[in-house]
Amino acid sequence: MRKTMRMMLVAVLVTGAAGTVSAANFVQGQQLYQMHCAACHGGRGEGVMPDAPKFRMGERLDQPDMILMQSVKSGKKTMPPFFGILQDAQILDVLAYVRTLR
Ligand code: HEC
């Protein structure tokens, strides 16, 4: 419960910081992350698979969303392409969540 509250707070902060019309859906991003990404990148971004960036350490997160989204869509090395599996908006939701793991 406490964790949920913290997540919600982060969501508010992230949304506020972005200050855009299309605020990322943090909760959906979290669910998608657990479903599609956690196996390699770790439930908390600790990086399970060798070579998978540790988002918790901020690895690769110094790049803009559009660049990261491109990598996720087309795949990179052992990361499979998510084109056709996730829509752009969903990937942006996941990236918004990923940035909170830091
Ligand atoms: C099969 C394992 C695997 C899965 C599943 C996976 N990744 Fe990756 N991911 C990797 C590896 C390995 C790399 C590092 C590739 C490289 O060396 O450039 C990576 C790199 C990345 C990067 C950095 C790309 C860049 O340009 O530097 C991002 C962002 C990323 N993954 C996000 C995701 C997201 C979001 C998901 C879920 C939708 C996901 N990954 C699923 C293995 C995976």
CB atoms inside a 10 Å sphere around CB 46? 14
pLDDT at 66: 96
Please state the φ and ψ torsions of residue 40, each to the nearest 5 degrees: -105, -40
Domain boundaries, the chain: 2-98
Question: What is the model's pLDDT at position 35?
Answer: 97
pLDDT of residue 4: 72
Give the per-residue pLDDT at 36: 98
* Cα–Cα distance for residue pair 52/90, rounded to 1 Å: 20
Query: Is the minimum distance from the CB of 88 to ligand 1 under 6 angstroms?
Result: no
Burial of 44 from C-beta contacts in 10 A (0-12 / 13-18 / 19+) = exposed
Query: Which of the pair, 87 or 9, is modelled with greater confidence?
Result: 87
Ligand 1 atom 1: residue of nearest CA? 79
Fold of 2-98: Cytochrome Bc1 Complex; Chain D, domain 2 (1.10.760)
Q: Is 99 in the pocket of ligand 1 (CB under 6 A)?
A: no
More confident residue, 1 or 88: 88
Q: Which amino acid is at 96?
A: A
What is the distance of C-alpha 79 from the center of its chain?
A: 14
Whether 96 is in the pocket of ligand 1, judged by its Cβ within 6 Å, is no
Higher pLDDT, 3 or 48: 48
| Distances 28 to 61, 93, 94 between C-alpha atoms, Å | 20, 7, 8
pLDDT > 90 fraction of the chain, expressed in percent and rounded: 75
For the Cβ of 52 lying below 6 angstroms from any atom of ligand 1, the answer is yes
pLDDT at 1 over 70: no
* pLDDT tens by residue, 57-83: 999 999 999 999 999 999 999 999 999
CA distances to 12, 29, 61, 100, 102 from 89, in Å: 18, 10, 18, 17, 21
